[in-house]
């Protein structure tokens, strides 16, 4: 039971990290690309940011499952933040 609780807490941290990274990248994208931005610009930006960070997570030994959870949390938060600004 303790292992399950610890695993769930770790998954929560991974998702929170993805949310924070997505928020940060959205701010950077808007600051760099301006307002409004195109859908293609937003997708290219978040894909590049995620590719970079996913590589770092793989090197650090993060499981594929955790990287996928982080990836989705990051993408969702990024798009929630930039969606109102997409032309």
**pLDDT tens readout for residues 4-53:** 878 788 888 999 999 999 999 999 999 998 888 899 999 999 999 999 99
pLDDT at 3: 66
CB 42 within 8 A of CB 86: yes
Q: Is the pLDDT of residue 1 over 80?
A: no
Question: Residue 61 — left, alpha, or beta (φ > 0 → left; ψ -120 to 50 → alpha)?
Answer: left
Q: How far apart are CA 66 and CA 56, in angstroms?
A: 13
Confidence of residue 56 (pLDDT cuts 50, 70, 90): very high
Rounded to 5 degrees, what angle do the CA atoms 40, 69, 66 make? 130
Task: Report the distance separating Cα 43 and Cα 61, nearest Å.
Answer: 26
């Amino acid at each position: 039971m303790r292992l399950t609780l610890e695993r769930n807490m770790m998954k929560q941290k991974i998702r929170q990290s993805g949310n924070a990274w997505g928020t940060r990248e959205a701010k950077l994208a808007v600051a760099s690309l301006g307002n409004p931005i195109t859908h293609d610009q937003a997708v290219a930006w978040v894909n590049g940011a995620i590719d970079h960070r996913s590589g770092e997570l793989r090197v650090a030994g993060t499981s594929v499952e955790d990287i996928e959870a982080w990836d989705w949390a990051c993408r969702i938060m990024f798009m929630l933040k930039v969606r109102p600004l997409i032309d």
